[in-house]
């Protein structure tokens, strides 16, 4: 049997990290050492750990908050310098099922070509739903995509090769890590596990998710209001693809990601969500200027709701007619739920309508793929897209009509400096 080091990264989650350690101690695979890498917590995390577990665990105290990338980065360096055949990375708010480590270890001990093996991650708040089951890198949208994320579990327990697994609960082969290397600690947080998995596969090892190993992970923070996540996920996404993308795809990459990011902060500004708009813009500009690590003060803004111009219109109406126009049942369902949340006493009817017969006091809504692609002004009918953006007036239509011109100005302004930074980061073509 191999001795396994379990490394838990913690920052200011005293209650959860204690429960995380307790679940680690209760593993059916007992031949372990447990470490908590504390990122200079300002709560009573260290005090609670010391008083609860005494000499049962080791606490490594960082002098500053190095983020998940830096915390796990230190853990990986410690593991590589040790005699552990395998080591586990674990978020402080991820709790292992009692047999999770045993299942991961037994699979990797048989399959010697696996460098990293991740657990099936279930939602802590709704444990019947899968949060993460490994993921794929989307070669068309230049994003990541989870496999079965959000799906009902249904006791899925297969093992399969994936592009990456989440670092919140994974087991790594130490000898393999000595070959393919360490975390991108400059990320601070997010996209670090995707890059680490990529380096593993580049070195010839497999990355596998094992559905027989289960962990339960807190995901309450993953909402549109979490601009901390939006900043780092945006900046580090650009860094990742710049490092590994085939150079013949760079023009398409620039076109796709700049349209995506510009659309995000354009629509946020359009709705008065200034904190969101500024955070996305700062993430993009920090990438262009080669800024890494922990975000400088003022780069991540406070979330604000903005103005919902549809609310006063819907709240005064007794009837609302929706023309879904081929956008699909899922978007129609979202729209009905959205309208119902704004005014639950409105009678909602789904049917096609004639644009020329509007103006009788009823609210008419047309569905569209995205408001920035709207070419025709149908006011007084209202457009709503699948992100619940809407065009409710002539003035709003005129603002949206400026989108293509403003996008082109943005893309032309940044292309040279963006490409220079992407070329500076380039490591190897894989995607």
What are the domain boundaries of the chain?
Answer: 4-217, 227-306+404-425, 311-392
State both tokens at 416: 């040279």
Q: How much is the pTM?
A: 0.94
- Which whole-number Å values give the CA distances from 340 to 297, 345, 349, in the listed order? 39, 8, 12
Return per-residue pLDDT of the chain as tens, 431 residues.
Answer: 899 999 999 999 999 999 999 999 999 999 999 999 999 999 999 999 999 999 999 999 999 999 999 999 999 999 999 999 999 999 999 999 999 999 999 999 999 999 999 999 999 988 899 999 999 999 899 999 878 877 888 888 999 999 999 999 999 999 999 999 999 999 999 999 999 999 999 999 999 999 999 999 997 666 778 999 999 999 999 999 999 999 999 999 999 999 999 999 999 999 999 999 999 999 999 999 999 999 999 999 999 999 999 999 988 888 899 998 888 899 999 999 999 999 878 899 998 887 656 666 788 999 999 999 999 998 889 999 999 999 999 999 999 999 999 999 999 999 999 999 999 999 998 88
Q: How far is CA 313 from the centre of its chain?
A: 34
Contacts (Cβ under 8 Å, ≥6 apart) of 393: 309, 379
DSSP secondary structure of 377-416: --TTSEEEETTS-EE-SHHHHHHHHTHHHHHHHHHHHHHH
- Per-residue confidence (pLDDT) for residue 221, from 0 to 100: 65
- Per-residue confidence (pLDDT) for residue 356, from 0 to 100: 58
Distance CA(279)–CA(264), nearest Å, equals: 10
State both tokens at 265: 């902060």
Contact (CB, 8 A) for 400 and 374:
yes
DSSP single-letter state for residue 367: E
Helices (H), 168-310: 174-180, 192-202, 227-244, 250-270, 274-288
Distance CA(225)–CA(228), nearest Å, equals: 9
Residue 206 pairs in a beta bridge with: 114
Q: Which residue's structure tokens are 């709705």?
A: 271
Contact (CB, 8 A) for 108 and 114:
yes
CATH number for the domain whose boundaries are 4-217: 3.90.550.60
Distance CA(171)–CA(210), nearest Å, equals: 10
């Amino acid at each position: 049997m191999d001795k396994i080091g379990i490394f838990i990264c913690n920052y200011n989650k005293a209650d959860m990290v204690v429960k995380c350690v307790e679940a680690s101690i209760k593993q059916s695979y007992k031949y372990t050492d447990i470490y908590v890498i504390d990122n200079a917590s300002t709560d009573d995390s260290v005090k609670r750990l010391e008083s609860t577990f005494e000499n049962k665990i080791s606490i490594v105290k960082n002098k500053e908050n190095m983020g998940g990338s830096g915390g796990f980065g230190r853990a990986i360096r410690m593991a590589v310098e040790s005699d552990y055949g395998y080591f586990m990375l674990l978020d402080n708010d991820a709790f292992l099922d009692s047999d999770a480590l045993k299942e991961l270890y037994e699979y990797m001990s048989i399959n010697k070509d696996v460098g990293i093996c991740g657990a099936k991650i279930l939602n802590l708040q709704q444990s019947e739903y899968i949060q993460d089951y490994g993921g794929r890198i989307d070669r068309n949208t230049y994003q990541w995509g989870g496999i079965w994320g959000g799906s009902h579990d249904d006791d899925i327990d297969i093992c399969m090769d994936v592009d990456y697994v989440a670092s919140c609960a994974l087991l790594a082969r130490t000898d393999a890590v000595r070959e393919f290397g360490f975390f991108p600690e400059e990320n601070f947080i997010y996209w670090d596990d995707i890059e680490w998995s990529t380096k593993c596969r580049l070195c010839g090892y497999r990355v596998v998710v094992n559905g027989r190993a289960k962990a339960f992970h807190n995901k309450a923070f993953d909402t549109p209001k979490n601009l901390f996540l939006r900043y780092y996920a945006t900046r580090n996404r650009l860094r990742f693809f710049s490092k590994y993308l085939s150079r013949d795809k760079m023009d398409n990459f620039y076109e796709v990601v700049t349209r995506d990011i510009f659309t995000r902060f354009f629509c946020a500004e359009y709705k008065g969500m200034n904190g969101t708009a500024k955070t996305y813009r700062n993430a993009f500009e920090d990438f262009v200027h080669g800024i890494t690590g922990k975000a400088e003060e003022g780069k991540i803004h406070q979330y604000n709701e903005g103005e919902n111009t549809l609310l006063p219109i819907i709240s005064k109406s007794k009837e609302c007619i929706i023309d879904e126009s081929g956008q699909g049942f899922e978007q129609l369902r979202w729209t009905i739920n959205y309208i119902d949340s704004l005014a639950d006493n409105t009678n909602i009817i789904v049917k096609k309508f004639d644009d020329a017969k509007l103006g009788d006091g009823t609210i008419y809504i047309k569905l569209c793929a995205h408001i920035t692609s709207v070419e025709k002004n149908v006011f007084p009918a209202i457009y709503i897209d699948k992100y619940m953006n809407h065009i409710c007036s002539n003035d709003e239509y005129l603002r949206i009509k400026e989108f293509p011109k403003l996008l082109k100005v943005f893309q032309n302004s940044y292309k040279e400096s963006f490409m220079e930074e992407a070329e500076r980061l380039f490591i190897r073509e894989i995607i």
